[in-house]
Structure 1
Amino acid sequence: MGLNFKFIEGSASYNTAEVFFARIDPTIASTDELLKSIYYLLWFPGYFGFNWNALEDCLTDFNWLSESKIVIAHDNIPKIDERDLQIYLEILNSSVLDWKQNDQHDLEVVFQKKDEKLIQKLLSL
């Protein structure tokens, strides 16, 4: 499976009148913090279970958002356990691919160019 992420140099910026934009806090240092942050940033429904399965379910739904394009930007890779980071990246990658086959929403996940090799390594394990 290839990478379905966008890699850039510098801070991502989008017209928030045209896209739903969420920037992941670069200081996140635990899986719990990451899941809570995503819950609030992406306006997940109250039934969100704060676990990887719930994250995958919500990232492939988005029926509560009216915007067709959703962008999740990372200025840094979250500083979480390597196995959890791998799971997170796999969920993001498969969710982007899932939306490519559906015209209701377009999910774009952005990382920094400097992190591309590490992400490739983690997703090839």
Structure 2
Amino acid sequence: MKNILFINEPDLYFDKDEFIACLPEIGGEDELLKELSAVLKFPGYFGHNWNAVYDCLCDFHWIEKKGVVLVHNVMPMLTEEKLKAYIEVLHDATKSWGIDEAHYFKVIFPVKSMPFLEYILMNLK
């Protein structure tokens, strides 16, 4: 879980050497897919589904900076099932990047979401 971080004020996170994508407050799955595409500048061929999100989070050839950071100021408002699917995609994507790769990917959440997300992460298949 080294690339999923919990900090007190995610909106203040900054590193000049990283591409930082901040998600706004999200009200559902469709909105989340649109916002991910927008803030991470997904290519036009993005398929607007979880498999396509995973594929894009494991590529980033369109982003020049080595570090790519997805910041959540608040948890997306999703059903428990959709939230689990989203967290699993994020978890798997952060793990997919090796040390010597062109990019690295990390995800930031507010500290207050830590207990719930750790529970989800511990119970992934």
Do they superpose with TM above 0.5?
yes
Deviation at 1:90, TM superposition (A): 0.6
Match of 1:99 in 2: 97
Match of 2:86 in 1: 88
Match of 2:4 in 1: 5
Deviation at 1:100, TM superposition (A): 3.5
Question: What is the alpha-carbon distance in structure 2 between the residues aligned to residue 60 and residue 102 of structure 1?
Answer: 14
Match of 2:119 in 1: 121
Q: 1:112 aligns with which of 103, 110, 113?
A: 110
User: CA offsets per residue over residues 103-125 of structure 1, 9 Å max, x none?
Assistant: 21011100111101101222316
Deviation at 1:25, TM superposition (A): 0.7
TM-score, with structure 1 as normaliser: 0.90
Equivalent residues in 2 for 1:1-125 (5 A)? Answer: 2=1, 4-11=3-10, 12-15=12-15, 17-26=16-25, 28-123=26-121, 124=123
Deviation at 1:3, TM superposition (A): 6.5
User: CA offsets per residue over residues 6-51 of structure 1, 9 Å max, x none?
Assistant: 1111134213x4211111112x110000000010111101010100
Question: What is the alpha-carbon distance in structure 2 between the residues aligned to residue 67 and residue 101 of structure 1?
Answer: 15
TM-score, with structure 2 as normaliser: 0.90
Higher mean displacement: 114-123 or 30-39: 114-123
Work out the percentage of aligned pairs sharing the same amino acid.
Answer: 35
Tell me if the contact between 1:59 and 1:95 (Cα under 8 Å) persists in the aligned partners: yes
Unmatched runs of 5 consecutive residues or more in structure 2: none
For 2:56, what is the secondary structure of its paired residue? Answer: helix
For 1:100, what is the secondary structure of its paired residue? Answer: coil
With over 3 angstroms needed to count, the CA separation of the structure-2 counterparts of 1:81 and 1:3, relative to structure 1, is farther
With over 3 angstroms needed to count, the CA separation of the structure-2 counterparts of 1:3 and 1:86, relative to structure 1, is farther
Runs of 4+ in 1 over 2 A off after TM superposition: 100-103
